[in-house]
Amino acid sequence: MVSTELCRNFVFRGRCGYASCCFLHDEAARQQVKPPAAEPPNKSVATSSLWRAEETMPDASANKMPASIRYLLDGESVQRNPYLKEFSGAPWLPRLLAAPACSRLFNVQGKRLRKELTEAFGLLHACKRALKKLQESLESTHDEGRGVTIVDLCCGKGFSSLVLACSMPQANVLAVDRNAKMDLSHFNVCENLRFQHMDLESPKLATDLAATLDGSSLVLLVGVHLCGMLSIYATRLFKQMTCPSALILAPCCLDKRLPGIKERARRLRLNPYTYWCLTLLMEELPICRRELLQDDDVWSERNSFILGVKSG
């Protein structure tokens, strides 16, 4: 049985593609009901939902912003999340947006960008908390990070390193990773940020790092989402530090080299990640001032920070 109605695919696309379609495919009838072609947009009006009619059109540099940044700055998340709000109002943000190398760094999916930013600012606030504890232990002050070296272990593309360097311009930020072939041209935006090729799993890391840090009065070792054994290597490095130092560690998933952690967590009816963080805090850190923080403003399921502080 053939319907008296026109095929919608045929009307809008000019073809159907279904051999068994029971609707009409009449060209003359299609021309009578075909919707008119859309008029081209007025070029004098901004077509992006980012810019409302009453606002001034952005300059050329703003148009070069990655879409993920534009949507972030114009969206609701910067009002709901304090870390994203802090990022949107950072005095150094225009400098980063004007740098082509940073545009490549920010050109990621929106959800991933928000996750990376909240992790970086969560780390920044954890660093300031650890630094305050370290200064209290030494009865000293290092205004705005002066004389402090922050070592970002397994830095990857250096998202957190960049935020730390911009937010603490008086501190020196050393990003280390075993991958020496990454494009880190965005590091040139900050004079206090540099990269060093180092492997966290190397037995010589403590010696090599001590030579690199010669003259630093305070050292903050940071590691964001270090998977499995990498978190243990970070705690071991912290134990070997002879100068006043702090560890700010955000553990990540477990690997196959640590099968017992998940099994013990299951027997205790605990979340494996929570049990893993507690294990690192109580068993791997030396006797020092230590604490475990859960930061709900970090948009990640793994949003805990382990802090350890020792005066030498």
CA 312 – CA 297 distance, rounded (Å): 32
Span 234-264, pLDDT tens digits:
999 999 998 899 999 999 887 777 788 888 9
Residue range of the domain that includes 174: 126-310
- Tell me the mean pLDDT in the region 29-48: 47
Tokens at 312, concatenated: 């030498």
Statement: residue 48 has pLDDT above 70: no
Residue 57 domain flag: no
Residue 140 domain flag: yes
Residue 21 domain flag: no
* Counted domains in the chain: 1
Residue 194 domain flag: yes
Q: How far is CA 72 from CA 58, 67, 81, in A?
A: 16, 8, 11
Of 146, 170, 152, 108, nearest to 247 (Cα)?
Answer: 152
Q: How confident is the prediction for the chain on average, in pLDDT?
A: 84
- The enclosing domain of 138 has a CATH number of 3.40.50.720
pLDDT band of residue 2 (cuts 50, 70, 90) is low
Statement: residue 207 has pLDDT above 90: yes
Residue 135 domain flag: yes
Of 7, 245, 13, nearest to 130 (Cα)?
Answer: 245
pTM of the model: 0.77
Span 272-310, pLDDT tens digits:
899 999 999 999 997 899 999 999 999 999 999 999 999
Residue 78 domain flag: no
Statement: residue 95 has pLDDT above 70: yes
What's the pLDDT score for residue 43?
Answer: 34
Residue 199 domain flag: yes
What's the pLDDT score for residue 214?
Answer: 75
Judge contact between 259 and 282, C-beta under 8 A: no
Residue 181 domain flag: yes
Span 4-13, pLDDT tens digits:
676 766 666 6
- Tell me the mean pLDDT in the region 57-62: 42
Angle between helices 272-279 and 259-268 (to 10 degrees): 110
